[in-house]
């Protein structure tokens, strides 16, 4: 399997796991586990899109990674 496919599948699975566990109530979207896996998934999908030169997805996943990364610095509301 080519490296871009490994990044693509790993990123897609990571984001789907985040969505599934959040939807089932097992993870809060404010938990560090959720944020970390979400960031990792978006970075993997970004790498996949860059390697395949699919620029609309590069744009989307770049922004997704920025939002995911910035969520680590957001203050929690009580």
Helix and strand numbers, DSSP H then E, in the chain: 3, 0
**pTM reported for the whole predicted model:** 0.87
Query: pLDDT tens digit string along 8-64?
Result: 999 999 999 999 999 999 999 889 999 999 999 999 999 999 999 999 999 999 999
In sequence order, what are the residues at sequence separation of 6 or more whose Cβ sits closer than 8 angstroms to the Cβ of residue 60?
Answer: 49
Q: In the chain, what are the domain boundaries? A: 3-73
């Amino acid at each position: 399997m080519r490296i871009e496919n490994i990044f693509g599948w790993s990123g897609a699975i990571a984001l789907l796991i985040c969505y599934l566990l959040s939807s089932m109530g097992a993870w809060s979207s404010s938990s560090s586990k959720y944020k970390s896996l979400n960031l990792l998934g978006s970075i993997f999908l970004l790498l996949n899109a860059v390697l395949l030169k699919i620029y609309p997805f590069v744009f989307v996943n770049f922004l997704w990674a920025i939002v995911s990364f910035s969520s680590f610095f957001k203050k929690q509301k009580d």
